Amino acid sequence: MNILIIDDEEVLQDVLTQLIQREGHTTFSATTGEEGLRLLGEEEIDLVVLDLMLPGMSGQEVLAEIQRTDPDQVVVVITAYSSIEGAITAMRDGAFHYIPKPFKNEEVLLTINKGLEQRRLATENRSLREQLKQRFGFDNIIGKSQPMQQVFDLITLAAPAKSNILIRGESGTGKELVAKAIHHHSLRAEGPFVTVNSGSMPADLLESNLFGHVKGAFTGAISTKKGLFEMASGGSIFFDEIGNIPLDTQAKLLRVIQEREFMRLGGVETIKADVRIVAATNADLEEAVTDGAFREDLYYRLNVITIPLPPLRKRTEDVPLLANHFLQRYGEENEKPLEVISSGAMALLLDYHWPGNVRELENVIERGVVLSTGDALDESLLPMSVRQPSPMAPPPSSLPTNGVSLKEAVTDYERQLIIKALQATGGVQKRAAEMLQVKPTTLHEMMKRLSISVESVT
Protein backbone atom coordinates (compact mmCIF):
# COMPACT_ATOMS: atom_id res chain seq x y z
CA MET A 1 0.00 0.00 0.00
CA ASN A 2 1.07 3.64 -0.38
CA ILE A 3 2.34 5.41 2.73
CA LEU A 4 3.33 9.09 2.95
CA ILE A 5 5.89 10.14 5.57
CA ILE A 6 5.84 13.85 6.47
CA ASP A 7 8.84 14.59 8.73
CA ASP A 8 11.63 17.17 8.55
CA GLU A 9 14.23 14.93 10.25
CA GLU A 10 16.30 13.17 7.57
CA VAL A 11 17.42 10.33 9.88
CA LEU A 12 13.84 9.59 10.93
CA GLN A 13 12.71 9.66 7.31
CA ASP A 14 15.37 7.05 6.38
CA VAL A 15 14.52 4.76 9.31
CA LEU A 16 10.77 4.85 8.63
CA THR A 17 11.25 4.41 4.88
CA GLN A 18 13.43 1.30 5.26
CA LEU A 19 11.14 -0.13 7.94
CA ILE A 20 7.98 0.33 5.87
CA GLN A 21 9.47 -0.76 2.55
CA ARG A 22 10.67 -4.03 4.14
CA GLU A 23 6.98 -4.75 4.78
CA GLY A 24 6.34 -4.51 1.03
CA HIS A 25 4.74 -1.05 0.96
CA THR A 26 5.58 1.96 -1.22
CA THR A 27 6.68 5.16 0.52
CA PHE A 28 6.53 8.84 -0.39
CA SER A 29 8.49 11.46 1.56
CA ALA A 30 7.87 15.12 2.40
CA THR A 31 9.82 17.41 4.75
CA THR A 32 7.14 20.13 5.06
CA GLY A 33 3.38 20.16 5.51
CA GLU A 34 2.87 22.03 2.26
CA GLU A 35 4.86 19.41 0.31
CA GLY A 36 2.95 16.59 2.02
CA LEU A 37 -0.43 18.08 1.07
CA ARG A 38 0.74 18.45 -2.51
CA LEU A 39 1.69 14.77 -2.65
CA LEU A 40 -1.68 13.82 -1.15
CA GLY A 41 -3.34 15.64 -4.02
CA GLU A 42 -1.19 13.90 -6.64
CA GLU A 43 -0.90 10.31 -5.34
CA GLU A 44 -3.27 7.62 -4.01
CA ILE A 45 -2.15 7.53 -0.37
CA ASP A 46 -3.46 4.85 2.02
CA LEU A 47 -1.84 6.11 5.23
CA VAL A 48 0.02 9.22 6.38
CA VAL A 49 2.77 9.23 9.04
CA LEU A 50 2.82 12.83 10.25
CA ASP A 51 5.27 14.54 12.63
CA LEU A 52 3.48 17.17 14.70
CA MET A 53 6.61 19.36 14.92
CA LEU A 54 7.18 20.74 11.41
CA PRO A 55 8.72 23.98 10.13
CA GLY A 56 6.20 26.44 8.72
CA MET A 57 2.80 24.77 8.56
CA SER A 58 2.38 22.76 11.80
CA GLY A 59 1.38 19.12 12.00
CA GLN A 60 -1.96 20.07 13.57
CA GLU A 61 -2.69 22.39 10.63
CA VAL A 62 -1.76 19.65 8.15
CA LEU A 63 -4.06 17.22 9.98
CA ALA A 64 -6.93 19.73 9.86
CA GLU A 65 -6.49 20.19 6.10
CA ILE A 66 -6.37 16.41 5.54
CA GLN A 67 -9.58 15.99 7.55
CA ARG A 68 -11.24 18.73 5.51
CA THR A 69 -10.37 17.23 2.12
CA ASP A 70 -10.48 13.48 2.94
CA PRO A 71 -12.09 12.54 6.30
CA ASP A 72 -11.44 8.83 5.62
CA GLN A 73 -7.66 9.30 5.35
CA VAL A 74 -5.77 7.37 8.05
CA VAL A 75 -3.18 9.56 9.83
CA VAL A 76 -0.65 8.31 12.40
CA VAL A 77 1.07 11.17 14.22
CA ILE A 78 4.61 11.14 15.64
CA THR A 79 5.34 13.14 18.78
CA ALA A 80 7.95 13.45 21.50
CA TYR A 81 7.15 12.05 24.97
CA SER A 82 6.95 15.62 26.26
CA SER A 83 4.15 16.40 23.77
CA ILE A 84 1.73 13.53 24.43
CA GLU A 85 -1.04 16.06 25.10
CA GLY A 86 -0.63 17.30 21.53
CA ALA A 87 -0.98 13.74 20.24
CA ILE A 88 -4.19 13.26 22.23
CA THR A 89 -5.53 16.51 20.78
CA ALA A 90 -4.62 15.26 17.30
CA MET A 91 -6.59 12.04 17.91
CA ARG A 92 -9.58 14.10 18.97
CA ASP A 93 -9.19 16.00 15.70
CA GLY A 94 -9.27 12.80 13.61
CA ALA A 95 -5.84 11.13 13.82
CA PHE A 96 -5.94 7.32 13.96
CA HIS A 97 -3.18 6.91 16.60
CA TYR A 98 0.16 8.30 17.71
CA ILE A 99 3.75 7.04 17.97
CA PRO A 100 5.93 8.56 20.74
CA LYS A 101 9.63 9.32 20.08
CA PRO A 102 11.93 7.53 20.54
CA PHE A 103 9.96 4.56 19.22
CA LYS A 104 10.42 0.82 18.86
CA ASN A 105 10.28 -0.64 15.35
CA GLU A 106 7.72 -3.28 16.33
CA GLU A 107 5.48 -0.60 17.82
CA VAL A 108 5.63 1.47 14.62
CA LEU A 109 4.80 -1.50 12.41
CA LEU A 110 1.94 -2.63 14.66
CA THR A 111 0.35 0.85 14.61
CA ILE A 112 0.81 1.25 10.85
CA ASN A 113 -0.64 -2.21 10.12
CA LYS A 114 -3.69 -1.45 12.26
CA GLY A 115 -4.13 1.84 10.41
CA LEU A 116 -3.85 0.11 7.03
CA GLU A 117 -6.47 -2.43 8.12
CA GLN A 118 -8.84 0.41 8.97
CA ARG A 119 -8.14 1.95 5.56
CA ARG A 120 -8.89 -1.37 3.86
CA LEU A 121 -12.19 -1.73 5.73
CA ALA A 122 -13.18 1.86 4.91
CA THR A 123 -12.42 1.24 1.22
CA GLU A 124 -14.45 -1.98 1.27
CA ASN A 125 -17.40 -0.23 2.93
CA ARG A 126 -17.27 2.58 0.38
CA SER A 127 -17.22 -0.02 -2.42
CA LEU A 128 -20.19 -1.84 -0.91
CA ARG A 129 -22.13 1.42 -0.62
CA GLU A 130 -21.43 2.12 -4.29
CA GLN A 131 -22.60 -1.40 -5.20
CA LEU A 132 -25.80 -0.82 -3.23
CA LYS A 133 -26.38 2.45 -5.06
CA GLN A 134 -25.90 0.66 -8.38
CA ARG A 135 -28.15 -2.22 -7.33
CA PHE A 136 -30.97 0.02 -6.16
CA GLY A 137 -30.14 2.90 -8.45
CA PHE A 138 -32.23 4.02 -11.37
CA ASP A 139 -30.42 1.64 -13.72
CA ASN A 140 -32.19 -1.23 -11.95
CA ILE A 141 -35.59 0.43 -12.46
CA ILE A 142 -35.74 -0.10 -16.18
CA GLY A 143 -37.54 2.33 -18.45
CA LYS A 144 -37.02 4.84 -21.24
CA SER A 145 -40.69 5.78 -21.66
CA GLN A 146 -41.93 9.25 -20.78
CA PRO A 147 -43.96 8.02 -17.75
CA MET A 148 -40.84 6.37 -16.29
CA GLN A 149 -38.68 9.41 -16.97
CA GLN A 150 -41.16 11.38 -14.87
CA VAL A 151 -40.82 8.77 -12.11
CA PHE A 152 -37.01 9.09 -12.21
CA ASP A 153 -37.31 12.88 -11.95
CA LEU A 154 -39.60 12.55 -8.92
CA ILE A 155 -37.22 10.11 -7.21
CA THR A 156 -34.29 12.47 -7.82
CA LEU A 157 -36.15 15.38 -6.26
CA ALA A 158 -37.80 13.46 -3.42
CA ALA A 159 -34.95 11.24 -2.23
CA PRO A 160 -32.79 13.94 -0.53
CA ALA A 161 -35.82 15.49 1.20
CA LYS A 162 -36.99 14.61 4.71
CA SER A 163 -40.70 14.37 3.83
CA ASN A 164 -42.77 11.19 3.96
CA ILE A 165 -43.41 9.60 0.57
CA LEU A 166 -46.40 7.67 -0.79
CA ILE A 167 -45.79 5.37 -3.78
CA ARG A 168 -48.94 4.44 -5.69
CA GLY A 169 -49.35 1.77 -8.32
CA GLU A 170 -50.85 -1.57 -9.20
CA SER A 171 -49.41 -4.85 -7.91
CA GLY A 172 -46.22 -5.78 -9.71
CA THR A 173 -45.22 -2.27 -10.81
CA GLY A 174 -42.10 -2.22 -8.58
CA LYS A 175 -43.14 -0.09 -5.62
CA GLU A 176 -40.64 -1.64 -3.19
CA LEU A 177 -37.82 -1.23 -5.72
CA VAL A 178 -38.64 2.49 -5.94
CA ALA A 179 -38.74 2.72 -2.14
CA LYS A 180 -35.25 1.21 -1.93
CA ALA A 181 -33.96 3.57 -4.61
CA ILE A 182 -35.34 6.53 -2.63
CA HIS A 183 -33.63 5.29 0.55
CA HIS A 184 -30.26 4.64 -1.10
CA HIS A 185 -30.25 8.10 -2.70
CA SER A 186 -31.28 9.85 0.51
CA LEU A 187 -29.32 11.39 3.37
CA ARG A 188 -30.18 8.22 5.34
CA ALA A 189 -28.54 5.91 2.81
CA GLU A 190 -26.10 4.46 5.36
CA GLY A 191 -28.91 3.68 7.80
CA PRO A 192 -31.14 0.58 7.71
CA PHE A 193 -34.02 0.01 5.32
CA VAL A 194 -36.79 -1.93 7.08
CA THR A 195 -39.87 -3.32 5.35
CA VAL A 196 -43.25 -3.74 7.06
CA ASN A 197 -45.64 -6.19 5.38
CA SER A 198 -48.69 -4.28 6.53
CA GLY A 199 -51.44 -6.66 5.54
CA SER A 200 -49.90 -10.04 6.33
CA MET A 201 -50.38 -10.21 10.14
CA PRO A 202 -53.08 -9.61 12.77
CA ALA A 203 -53.37 -6.16 14.39
CA ASP A 204 -51.90 -7.13 17.78
CA LEU A 205 -48.96 -8.92 16.19
CA LEU A 206 -48.39 -6.01 13.79
CA GLU A 207 -48.20 -3.53 16.69
CA SER A 208 -45.78 -5.77 18.57
CA ASN A 209 -43.61 -5.95 15.45
CA LEU A 210 -43.76 -2.19 14.88
CA PHE A 211 -43.22 -0.89 18.40
CA GLY A 212 -41.70 -3.87 20.23
CA HIS A 213 -42.80 -5.04 23.67
CA VAL A 214 -41.48 -5.40 27.19
CA LYS A 215 -41.20 -8.65 29.07
CA GLY A 216 -44.61 -9.76 30.38
CA ALA A 217 -46.59 -7.37 28.15
CA PHE A 218 -48.77 -10.29 27.04
CA THR A 219 -48.84 -14.07 27.20
CA GLY A 220 -45.73 -15.36 25.49
CA ALA A 221 -43.71 -12.14 25.91
CA ILE A 222 -40.88 -13.89 27.73
CA SER A 223 -38.36 -11.15 27.03
CA THR A 224 -38.17 -7.52 25.91
CA LYS A 225 -38.08 -7.15 22.13
CA LYS A 226 -37.21 -4.21 19.89
CA GLY A 227 -39.73 -3.24 17.23
CA LEU A 228 -39.20 -2.35 13.59
CA PHE A 229 -39.24 1.39 14.34
CA GLU A 230 -36.23 0.94 16.65
CA MET A 231 -34.49 -1.32 14.14
CA ALA A 232 -34.99 1.34 11.44
CA SER A 233 -33.52 4.15 13.58
CA GLY A 234 -31.38 6.45 11.46
CA GLY A 235 -32.82 4.96 8.27
CA SER A 236 -36.12 4.41 6.48
CA ILE A 237 -39.16 2.25 7.22
CA PHE A 238 -41.22 1.05 4.26
CA PHE A 239 -44.90 0.19 4.71
CA ASP A 240 -45.94 -2.15 1.90
CA GLU A 241 -49.70 -1.87 1.21
CA ILE A 242 -50.32 0.75 3.90
CA GLY A 243 -54.06 0.63 3.17
CA ASN A 244 -54.33 -2.77 4.87
CA ILE A 245 -53.33 -1.50 8.33
CA PRO A 246 -56.20 -1.77 10.90
CA LEU A 247 -57.73 1.50 12.15
CA ASP A 248 -56.46 1.07 15.73
CA THR A 249 -52.89 0.67 14.45
CA GLN A 250 -53.37 3.63 12.11
CA ALA A 251 -54.04 5.85 15.15
CA LYS A 252 -50.78 4.74 16.79
CA LEU A 253 -48.85 5.19 13.55
CA LEU A 254 -50.24 8.73 13.27
CA ARG A 255 -48.96 9.52 16.75
CA VAL A 256 -45.46 8.30 15.81
CA ILE A 257 -45.47 10.57 12.76
CA GLN A 258 -46.70 13.58 14.72
CA GLU A 259 -44.72 13.17 17.95
CA ARG A 260 -41.67 11.36 16.56
CA GLU A 261 -41.82 8.99 19.54
CA PHE A 262 -43.53 5.81 20.72
CA MET A 263 -43.62 3.29 23.55
CA ARG A 264 -43.17 -0.46 23.45
CA LEU A 265 -46.26 -2.53 24.22
CA GLY A 266 -46.58 -2.77 27.99
CA GLY A 267 -43.80 -0.23 28.50
CA VAL A 268 -43.68 3.27 29.99
CA GLU A 269 -40.42 4.50 28.46
CA THR A 270 -40.73 6.95 25.52
CA ILE A 271 -38.48 6.06 22.59
CA LYS A 272 -37.55 8.54 19.85
CA ALA A 273 -38.46 7.52 16.29
CA ASP A 274 -35.63 8.73 14.06
CA VAL A 275 -37.02 7.30 10.82
CA ARG A 276 -38.33 8.40 7.45
CA ILE A 277 -41.58 6.79 6.38
CA VAL A 278 -42.06 5.55 2.82
CA ALA A 279 -45.44 3.92 2.16
CA ALA A 280 -46.92 2.13 -0.84
CA THR A 281 -50.41 1.18 -1.86
CA ASN A 282 -52.35 -0.26 -4.79
CA ALA A 283 -55.65 0.78 -3.20
CA ASP A 284 -57.73 3.90 -3.65
CA LEU A 285 -56.94 5.57 -0.33
CA GLU A 286 -59.29 8.49 -1.02
CA GLU A 287 -62.17 6.03 -1.35
CA ALA A 288 -60.99 4.22 1.79
CA VAL A 289 -61.06 7.56 3.66
CA THR A 290 -64.61 8.20 2.42
CA ASP A 291 -65.66 4.69 3.51
CA GLY A 292 -64.10 5.19 6.95
CA ALA A 293 -61.55 2.40 6.39
CA PHE A 294 -58.55 4.75 6.44
CA ARG A 295 -57.94 7.76 8.68
CA GLU A 296 -58.06 11.07 6.83
CA ASP A 297 -55.42 12.68 9.08
CA LEU A 298 -53.02 9.77 8.49
CA TYR A 299 -53.65 9.95 4.74
CA TYR A 300 -52.57 13.60 4.63
CA ARG A 301 -49.52 12.89 6.80
CA LEU A 302 -48.37 10.16 4.41
CA ASN A 303 -49.36 11.83 1.17
CA VAL A 304 -46.76 14.64 1.33
CA ILE A 305 -44.92 13.56 -1.83
CA THR A 306 -46.68 11.10 -4.16
CA ILE A 307 -44.88 9.00 -6.75
CA PRO A 308 -47.35 7.32 -9.14
CA LEU A 309 -46.01 4.22 -10.92
CA PRO A 310 -47.55 3.57 -14.33
CA PRO A 311 -48.80 0.06 -15.17
CA LEU A 312 -46.80 -1.79 -17.81
CA ARG A 313 -49.68 -1.54 -20.34
CA LYS A 314 -49.21 2.26 -20.22
CA ARG A 315 -45.51 2.02 -21.12
CA THR A 316 -45.24 -0.81 -23.63
CA GLU A 317 -42.10 0.71 -25.17
CA ASP A 318 -40.30 -0.44 -22.01
CA VAL A 319 -41.28 -4.10 -22.54
CA PRO A 320 -38.27 -4.97 -24.80
CA LEU A 321 -35.85 -3.30 -22.35
CA LEU A 322 -37.32 -5.15 -19.38
CA ALA A 323 -37.58 -8.47 -21.20
CA ASN A 324 -33.94 -8.40 -22.30
CA HIS A 325 -32.87 -7.31 -18.81
CA PHE A 326 -34.61 -10.33 -17.27
CA LEU A 327 -33.29 -12.59 -20.06
CA GLN A 328 -29.72 -11.67 -19.18
CA ARG A 329 -30.29 -11.97 -15.41
CA TYR A 330 -31.95 -15.38 -15.46
CA GLY A 331 -29.71 -16.63 -18.25
CA GLU A 332 -26.70 -15.99 -16.01
CA GLU A 333 -28.41 -17.40 -12.90
CA ASN A 334 -29.40 -20.61 -14.67
CA GLU A 335 -26.26 -20.86 -16.82
CA LYS A 336 -28.38 -20.91 -19.98
CA PRO A 337 -26.90 -19.64 -23.28
CA LEU A 338 -29.95 -17.58 -24.32
CA GLU A 339 -28.87 -14.51 -26.23
CA VAL A 340 -32.01 -13.18 -27.85
CA ILE A 341 -35.80 -13.09 -27.77
CA SER A 342 -37.24 -14.07 -31.15
CA SER A 343 -39.20 -11.50 -33.12
CA GLY A 344 -42.35 -13.61 -32.83
CA ALA A 345 -42.03 -13.90 -29.06
CA MET A 346 -41.33 -10.17 -28.72
CA ALA A 347 -44.43 -9.36 -30.78
CA LEU A 348 -46.53 -11.44 -28.38
CA LEU A 349 -44.94 -9.72 -25.37
CA LEU A 350 -45.74 -6.32 -26.88
CA ASP A 351 -49.35 -7.27 -27.66
CA TYR A 352 -50.10 -8.69 -24.22
CA HIS A 353 -51.88 -6.41 -21.69
CA TRP A 354 -49.81 -7.48 -18.60
CA PRO A 355 -52.34 -7.43 -15.75
CA GLY A 356 -49.53 -8.52 -13.40
CA ASN A 357 -47.24 -5.72 -14.67
CA VAL A 358 -43.44 -5.99 -14.44
CA ARG A 359 -43.61 -8.86 -11.95
CA GLU A 360 -45.64 -10.93 -14.43
CA LEU A 361 -43.21 -10.14 -17.26
CA GLU A 362 -40.32 -11.20 -15.03
CA ASN A 363 -42.07 -14.50 -14.24
CA VAL A 364 -42.73 -15.14 -17.95
CA ILE A 365 -39.10 -14.55 -18.93
CA GLU A 366 -37.72 -16.61 -16.02
CA ARG A 367 -40.04 -19.50 -16.98
CA GLY A 368 -38.90 -19.28 -20.60
CA VAL A 369 -35.23 -19.32 -19.62
CA VAL A 370 -35.65 -22.34 -17.33
CA LEU A 371 -37.54 -24.35 -19.98
CA SER A 372 -35.25 -23.37 -22.88
CA THR A 373 -32.90 -25.76 -24.65
CA GLY A 374 -31.60 -23.47 -27.41
CA ASP A 375 -30.02 -20.04 -27.64
CA ALA A 376 -33.22 -18.04 -28.22
CA LEU A 377 -36.44 -17.51 -26.29
CA ASP A 378 -39.18 -18.16 -28.86
CA GLU A 379 -42.99 -18.28 -28.83
CA SER A 380 -43.10 -21.90 -27.65
CA LEU A 381 -41.47 -20.91 -24.35
CA LEU A 382 -44.18 -18.38 -23.50
CA PRO A 383 -47.14 -19.46 -21.35
CA MET A 384 -50.52 -19.96 -23.01
CA SER A 385 -51.89 -16.86 -21.24
CA VAL A 386 -49.45 -14.72 -23.30
CA ARG A 387 -49.66 -16.69 -26.56
CA GLN A 388 -53.46 -16.84 -26.62
CA PRO A 389 -54.80 -14.16 -24.29
CA SER A 390 -58.54 -14.42 -23.74
CA PRO A 391 -59.87 -10.97 -22.91
CA MET A 392 -62.79 -10.95 -20.53
CA ALA A 393 -66.06 -10.11 -22.22
CA PRO A 394 -67.58 -6.77 -21.15
CA PRO A 395 -71.11 -6.73 -19.75
CA PRO A 396 -73.75 -6.87 -22.55
CA SER A 397 -75.06 -3.54 -23.78
CA SER A 398 -78.60 -4.90 -23.51
CA LEU A 399 -80.20 -7.85 -21.72
CA PRO A 400 -81.83 -10.74 -23.56
CA THR A 401 -85.64 -10.71 -23.64
CA ASN A 402 -85.83 -13.74 -21.34
CA GLY A 403 -83.55 -12.02 -18.76
CA VAL A 404 -80.25 -13.20 -17.28
CA SER A 405 -79.20 -14.90 -14.07
CA LEU A 406 -77.21 -12.27 -12.16
CA LYS A 407 -75.77 -14.91 -9.85
CA GLU A 408 -74.48 -17.00 -12.77
CA ALA A 409 -73.05 -13.95 -14.55
CA VAL A 410 -71.25 -12.75 -11.43
CA THR A 411 -69.92 -16.26 -10.76
CA ASP A 412 -68.63 -16.55 -14.32
CA TYR A 413 -66.96 -13.15 -14.12
CA GLU A 414 -65.43 -14.07 -10.76
CA ARG A 415 -64.07 -17.30 -12.27
CA GLN A 416 -62.51 -15.40 -15.18
CA LEU A 417 -60.84 -12.90 -12.86
CA ILE A 418 -59.29 -15.64 -10.73
CA ILE A 419 -58.08 -17.58 -13.76
CA LYS A 420 -56.48 -14.45 -15.26
CA ALA A 421 -54.77 -13.64 -11.97
CA LEU A 422 -53.40 -17.18 -11.64
CA GLN A 423 -52.15 -17.11 -15.23
CA ALA A 424 -50.55 -13.71 -14.71
CA THR A 425 -48.65 -14.91 -11.64
CA GLY A 426 -47.61 -18.30 -12.98
CA GLY A 427 -49.93 -20.11 -10.59
CA VAL A 428 -48.51 -18.51 -7.43
CA GLN A 429 -51.68 -18.17 -5.34
CA LYS A 430 -50.23 -15.67 -2.87
CA ARG A 431 -49.34 -13.26 -5.67
CA ALA A 432 -52.69 -13.84 -7.36
CA ALA A 433 -54.40 -12.98 -4.06
CA GLU A 434 -52.39 -9.74 -3.87
CA MET A 435 -53.43 -8.86 -7.41
CA LEU A 436 -57.10 -9.49 -6.58
CA GLN A 437 -56.71 -7.67 -3.23
CA VAL A 438 -58.03 -10.61 -1.18
CA LYS A 439 -56.41 -12.79 1.48
CA PRO A 440 -54.70 -16.00 0.25
CA THR A 441 -57.11 -18.05 2.37
CA THR A 442 -60.07 -16.28 0.76
CA LEU A 443 -58.71 -16.99 -2.72
CA HIS A 444 -58.18 -20.64 -1.80
CA GLU A 445 -61.82 -20.97 -0.67
CA MET A 446 -63.06 -19.24 -3.85
CA MET A 447 -61.01 -21.61 -6.02
CA LYS A 448 -62.51 -24.61 -4.19
CA ARG A 449 -66.03 -23.24 -4.62
CA LEU A 450 -65.51 -22.57 -8.33
CA SER A 451 -63.60 -25.84 -8.95
CA ILE A 452 -60.48 -24.02 -10.20
CA SER A 453 -57.12 -25.79 -9.95
CA VAL A 454 -53.74 -24.21 -10.64
CA GLU A 455 -52.79 -27.06 -12.99
CA SER A 456 -55.81 -26.43 -15.23
CA VAL A 457 -55.10 -22.76 -15.85
CA THR A 458 -51.28 -22.47 -16.07
Third-level CATH fold of 314-389: Helicase, Ruva Protein; domain 3 (1.10.8)
Average pLDDT of 230-236?
A: 92
**Residue 289, pLDDT score:** 93
pLDDT, tens digit (0-9, with 9 covering 90-100), for 144-187: 888 999 999 999 999 999 999 999 999 889 999 999 999 999 99
Q: Please tell us whether the domain made up of 2-132 is placed in CATH 3.40.50.2300.
A: yes
Average pLDDT of 401-409?
A: 69
Q: pLDDT-based confidence at 414, cuts 50/70/90?
A: confident
* DSSP designation for 265: B
Q: Where along the chain do its domains lie?
A: 2-132, 139-310, 314-389, 402-458
2-132 against 139-310: fold identical? yes
Element (H, E) at 308: strand 305-308
Bond into 102 cis (ω within 30): yes
The CATH architecture that domain 402-458 belongs to is Orthogonal Bundle (1.10)
**Residue 96, pLDDT score:** 86
**Residue 37, pLDDT score:** 93
Element (H, E) at 26: strand 26-30
The C-alpha atoms of residue 15 and residue 157 are separated, in whole angstroms, by 54
Right CATH for 139-310 from 3.30.70.260, 3.20.20.70, 3.40.50.300, 3.20.10.10: 3.40.50.300
The highest-confidence range among 147-151, 423-427, 429-433, by mean pLDDT, is 147-151
Average pLDDT of 349-363?
A: 92
Average pLDDT of 300-328?
A: 92
Average pLDDT of 22-40?
A: 91
pLDDT, tens digit (0-9, with 9 covering 90-100), for 235-265: 999 998 898 888 888 999 999 999 998 888 8
Question: Which of 20-24, 228-232, 400-404 shows the lowest per-residue confidence on average (mean pLDDT)?
Answer: 400-404
**Residue 326, pLDDT score:** 92
Indicate the average pLDDT of the chain.
85
**Residue 137, pLDDT score:** 54
Q: pLDDT-based confidence at 404, cuts 50/70/90?
A: low
3-state SS assignment for residue 329: helix
Distance of CA 449 to the CA centre of its chain: 40
Residue 397 has pLDDT above 60, yes or no: no
Instruction: Report which of residues 406 and 227 the model is more confident about.
Output: 227
3-state SS assignment for residue 420: helix
C-alpha distances (whole Å) from 6 to each of 45, 83, 112, 298, 357 are 12, 18, 14, 59, 60
Average pLDDT of 369-382?
A: 90
Burial track 201-234 (b if 16+ CB lie within 10 A, e otherwise)? eeeeebbbbbbbbbeebeeebeeebebbbbebbe
Q: pLDDT-based confidence at 431, cuts 50/70/90?
A: confident
The C-alpha atoms of residue 10 and residue 12 are separated, in whole angstroms, by 5
Residue 400 has pLDDT above 70, yes or no: no
Residue 389 has pLDDT above 70, yes or no: no
The C-alpha atoms of residue 434 and residue 80 are separated, in whole angstroms, by 69
pLDDT, tens digit (0-9, with 9 covering 90-100), for 184-221: 999 999 899 999 987 666 777 888 888 888 887 777 77
Residue 105 has pLDDT above 80, yes or no: yes
